[in-house]
Amino acid sequence: MRKAKLVCPTCKRAVVKKFWAMPRYRLARCSTCGLVWDFSITREDIDIYKKKYFANEDSKGGYANYFEGMRVNRRTFADRLVKLEQKLGKKGKLLDVGCALGECLIEAKNLGWKGIEGVELSEFACRFARNRGLKIKRGVLGNSYAANSFDAVVYQDVIEHIPDPVGELKKARRVLRHGGIIFLVTPDIGGFWSKLLGARWYHFKPREHLIYFSQSSMRSALGKAGFSKIETAGTYHILSIEYIVNRLKYYFPSACGMVLAILRKTPLKDIPVKSYTGELEAWGKKL
C-alpha cells in the first residue's frame, strides 16, 4: 500500500489517497470523504453490456441469468417501489436510469405508476425492453430530458458504473420536480461483507465497478449534488437459490458447481430468499 495524490471524483480536488494493490485493479480511497474508486479507468466501457452480460456463468461478472431470474427480481423491485411511494406520497412519473431489461418498470406499471420511462446503455437490453412495450432511451441520462420532468429517479446497481457520480447525480436532480425523490442501490464498501472478505469481496469487479460508496461517502455525494433530506441504510435483494449458489462459486467453485448441477434439476432452484448482499440504499429529495 502506498500514497499519492489523485483527484477524488466526489471532492474534485487533489488529496492524499491510499492505494489498494489488487490484480487487474488500481483502487484509491479518498482521505477526505472515504470514496473508493478505480483510477485506472477514466471512461465507461460499454462493450461489456451485451447479451452475455445478462446471462453468463462467470461467478463474478454480469448476471448469472437475468432472464430466468425475472420473476424473483420483481419481488425486490416491488418492495422498493412500495417504499418509494411511501416517501413520495404518490405514484408519480418515474425514470429508471440503467433499467436493464425493464423489470422494475414492468413492476411499476403493474403497481399503477404512470409515465414510466427508462434509460439504458446496452443496445441489447434497450431493444429487449422496448419489445416489451416500454419507453426506453438508449444511452446515458445526459440532457435527454427537460428539467423538472419526473417525480422519482432511480439508480439500482448503476451509479458504481459511472466515473463521475456527483455529475450524474446533478443531472438526476435537474430532471426531478421540486419535492421529487432520488433512490439508489449500490455496493457498500463500508459494510460488513466488504470488511470481512477484503480483497475477495464479491463486488470488486474490474471494468464493471468504477466507484465504491460507503453510507457516509454516499451522503457526501448526494449533498454535493444538491439533495436534501438524505437517508442511507443497508438493503437486501430477493434472490433465487440458484442465483445465490452460482455467485458462491466464486468462493467455492467445485462444491457449488456440483450443487448447481443437482439444483437446476429441481424446483428448489426458484425458491426466493431475502439476501443481504453487502449493498446500501440511499434517498435524497429535491427541495
Residue 191 has pLDDT above 90, yes or no: yes
Residue 114 is predicted with a pLDDT of 87
C-alpha cell at 230: 438524505
Q: How many CA atoms lie within 13 A of 244 on its CB side?
A: 18
C-alpha cell at 254: 467445485
CB 105 within 8 A of CB 153: no
CB 220 within 8 A of CB 10: yes
Residue 238 has pLDDT above 50, yes or no: yes
Average pLDDT over residues 172-191: 97
Task: Tell which wins on pLDDT, 279 or 9.
Answer: 279
Residue 143 has pLDDT above 90, yes or no: no
Q: Is 174 helix (H, G, I), strand (E, B) or coil?
A: helix
Residue 7 is predicted with a pLDDT of 85
> Rounded to the nearest 10 degrees, how much is the dihedral formed by the CA atoms of 211, 214, 217, 218?
80
Q: How many CA atoms lie within 13 A of 5 on its CB side?
A: 4
Segment 40-85, tens digit of pLDDT: 765 545 455 555 555 445 545 545 555 555 677 789 999 999 999 9
Query: Looking at the whole model, is its pTM more than 0.95?
Result: no
For the chain, list the domains and their CATH numbers. 3-285 (3.40.50.150)
Q: How would residue 25 be classed by pLDDT, with cut points 50, 70 and 90?
A: confident
| Mean residue pLDDT across the chain | 87
Residue 276 has pLDDT above 90, yes or no: yes
Residue 53 is predicted with a pLDDT of 55
